[in-house]
Amino acid sequence: MKKGAFGGSVLFGASLFGWCTLSCAPNRKLPEQVAIEKEIASEAKGTAKSVVSGGGDLERFSNDKERKKLWTVSWKKAALDFDLTESEFGGQIQEVSGTFCENGKVASTFIAREGFIDRGSKVIRLKGGVKVVSVKEDISIDCGELSYDGASGIIEAPAGITARMGGYLIREPDSVLAQMGKESKAVLAKPDLKKIGTAGLFDKP
Amino acid sequence: MKRLNVSLGLIALVTGLSISQTQSPTQKGIFDKNGTELRVTGFDEWSVEKLPKGQFQLIMTGRPHAEWLKQGLDLKAKTLEMRATSDYKLIAAELKGGIEFSADKQGSNGRVVVRAESATYTDADEKLVVRGGLSLDQKGASNGQVLHAEGSGGTVLLDRKGTDQNLIKSATLNGPIKFKLSGMRDDEDAKKKLPFFVNATAGILTYVKSEGKVVLKDNVKIDGNDPSIFGEISGVHTVTLYLTESGEITKIVMQGDPGATKIEQKSKGGGGR
């Protein structure tokens, strides 16, 4: 997979060509960068388009002047939709991997079976065998699903995570409670995983 | 009648099942490293943060139970806030709500248990500052000595690494104080051990191991079967119990208020009355 979106080596389908030409016009601000390896099918509805693709990469940036990188994701298969006017992608992706960023720098890496990207949102949701590993620390978390809000810089897992810090293991209680349909407590984490905790204590200084 | 018994049995069975379901232990959080070094169990909410210099901060609520196995410290409370080194050695802890702090003497079976409303512990000076109604128990010292004290807060300095059996280096407890010391002592011929006890109430208690004495002050009432004591004595301003390293009472000095009465009874090694 080629990084550095919109490179000549990336193969685009005919339905994407016009959008790409529009997006790559001089002085046009790109809210994100995306590279799609292989288009399988596409459909146009007004200014919105959807495409079922093979592998691809996506980098999402902040909307401010600094355009800090919030997160990146790569996938092997996807059903994407995008808006020609907003130039932002969304959709469901599969066999995903990527990075969570903090202040524009990669803070952790992740893998998951599925991912969900909402168009116009800074949130990426991951589901199925989710694993996040801190880049600098010997810390990782495993869970069934989580979301990362690039705008607030917070990872949130609904319940049932296992965290590893050094040789230590945190098996938090919510996995069983969630299975029983009882109240469960969301777990929050910073993108570098230096701080992890349930919502009630996460903000405690 | 038989049918009634069967019905009652069924009701009891159903009730029992119902109770066992409602009382079944809720799955609680676990934080550990293969059961070594540190293990925290029983928490509902939690937060773990890696601080600068590699330190960790752990905050747990619910009914967390933290066992610092390498250091011989055992902490229970509704809320535990703990700071640890990068290799998970406890630096300091804040215990809030129905706390129980236990410390083990390294290389012996000596143990101190403090129960109170809240407490702050710092490991560098082994200092436990206790707030609210407290009870302090030391067990496992030589001669089967058991020390029990109750108060309304105070400061306890521990000595977990010292070579002697006594875990408490010093203590200052605020009153109202209830104090009890019991153990075994030599009889007159030092041929056999006899049990002894001393009970006291006071306004304040101080203990300094290096000086080998417990000082009780303010309207002290003292009783016991140690031969150092003759009858129940009350209204004394200050009572000082002199102890051997193994916790036997060598003498008791009483000083009245305003000091008109001073009674000193040196022990001759007698047994209980």
ipTM of the complex: 0.75
| pLDDT bracket for residue A7 (50, 70, 90) | very low
Please give, rounded to a whole number of angstroms, the shortest distance from the CA of A105 to a CA of chain B.
19
For residue B63, list chain A residues with Cβ-Cβ distance below 8 A. Answer: none
According to the model, what pLDDT value does residue B43 have?
87
Residue A97 predicted with pLDDT over 90: yes
Calculate the average pLDDT of chain A. 76
Instruction: Please indicate if any CB of chain B lies within 8 Å of the CB of A14.
Output: no
User: B56 exposed, middle or buried (CB, 10 Å; 0-12, 13-18, 19+)?
Assistant: buried
Residue B143 predicted with pLDDT over 70: no
According to the model, what pLDDT value does residue A200 have?
84
Taking CB atoms and an 8 Å limit, are A169 and B32 in contact across chains?
yes
Token representation of residue A68: 């800090």
According to the model, what pLDDT value does residue B188 have?
72
Please give, rounded to a whole number of angstroms, the shortest distance from the CA of B117 to a CA of chain A.
21
Under DSSP, the state recorded for B190 is S
Residue A99 predicted with pLDDT over 90: yes
According to the model, what pLDDT value does residue A205 have?
66
Minimum-distance CB partner of A185 among B45, B56, B88: B45
For residue A137, list chain B residues with Cβ-Cβ distance below 8 A. Answer: 50
- Interface A-B: count of C-beta contacts within 8 A: 71
Phi, psi angles (nearest 5°) of residue A10: -80, 135
Of B24, B48, B59, B83, which to mutate for an interface test with A (greatest number of A Cβ within 10 Å)? B48
Taking CB atoms and an 8 Å limit, are A198 and B88 in contact across chains?
no
Minimum-distance CB partner of A170 among B29, B44, B88: B29
| pLDDT bracket for residue A161 (50, 70, 90) | confident
Helix %, strand %, coil % for chain A, to 5? 10, 55, 40
Calculate the average pLDDT of chain B. 81
Q: Are the C-beta atoms of residues B267 and B241 closer than 8 Å to each other?
A: no
What's the CA gap between B31 and A162, in Å, rounded?
10
According to the model, what pLDDT value does residue B161 have?
83
According to the model, what pLDDT value does residue B226 have?
73
Which position has the higher pLDDT, B102 or B4? B102
According to the model, what pLDDT value does residue B142 have?
62
How many other C-beta atoms lie within 10 A of the C-beta of residue A63? 12
| pLDDT bracket for residue B12 (50, 70, 90) | very low
Residue A171, CA distances (Å) to A35, A108, A180, A193 in order: 38, 20, 17, 16
What's the CA gap between B158 and B161, in Å, rounded?
9
Q: What is the pLDDT of residues B75-134, one digit of tens each?
A: 999 999 999 998 889 999 999 999 999 999 877 778 999 999 999 999 999 999 999 999
According to the model, what pLDDT value does residue B122 have?
98
For the segment B66-79, the average pLDDT, to the nearest whole number, is 94
Q: Are the C-beta atoms of residues A172 and A199 closer than 8 Å to each other?
A: no
| pLDDT bracket for residue A165 (50, 70, 90) | confident
Range from A118-122, A151-155, B3-7, B19-23 that averages highest in pLDDT: A151-155
Token representation of residue A132: 């996040």
Instruction: Please indicate if any CB of chain B lies within 8 Å of the CB of A200.
Output: yes
For the segment A15-32, the average pLDDT, to the nearest whole number, is 40
What's the CA gap between A191 and A149, in Å, rounded?
10
Q: Lowest-pLDDT range, B9-13, B55-59, B115-119, B255-259?
A: B9-13
Helix %, strand %, coil % for chain B, to 5? 10, 60, 30
Q: What is the pLDDT of residues B173-182, one digit of tens each?
A: 998 999 999 8
What's the CA gap between B153 and B173, in Å, rounded?
6
Instruction: Please indicate if any CB of chain B lies within 8 Å of the CB of A169.
Output: yes
Residue B261 predicted with pLDDT over 60: no
Taking CB atoms and an 8 Å limit, are A168 and B88 in contact across chains?
yes
Taking CB atoms and an 8 Å limit, are A198 and B46 in contact across chains?
yes
Instruction: Please indicate if any CB of chain B lies within 8 Å of the CB of A181.
Output: no
Residue A175 predicted with pLDDT over 60: no
According to the model, what pLDDT value does residue B17 have?
36
Q: Are the C-beta atoms of residues B13 and B21 closer than 8 Å to each other?
A: no
According to the model, what pLDDT value does residue B235 have?
84
For the segment A44-60, the average pLDDT, to the nearest whole number, is 74
Residues of B with CB under 8 A from a CB of A: 26-34, 38, 43-50, 56, 59, 61, 86, 88
Taking CB atoms and an 8 Å limit, are A197 and B26 in contact across chains?
no
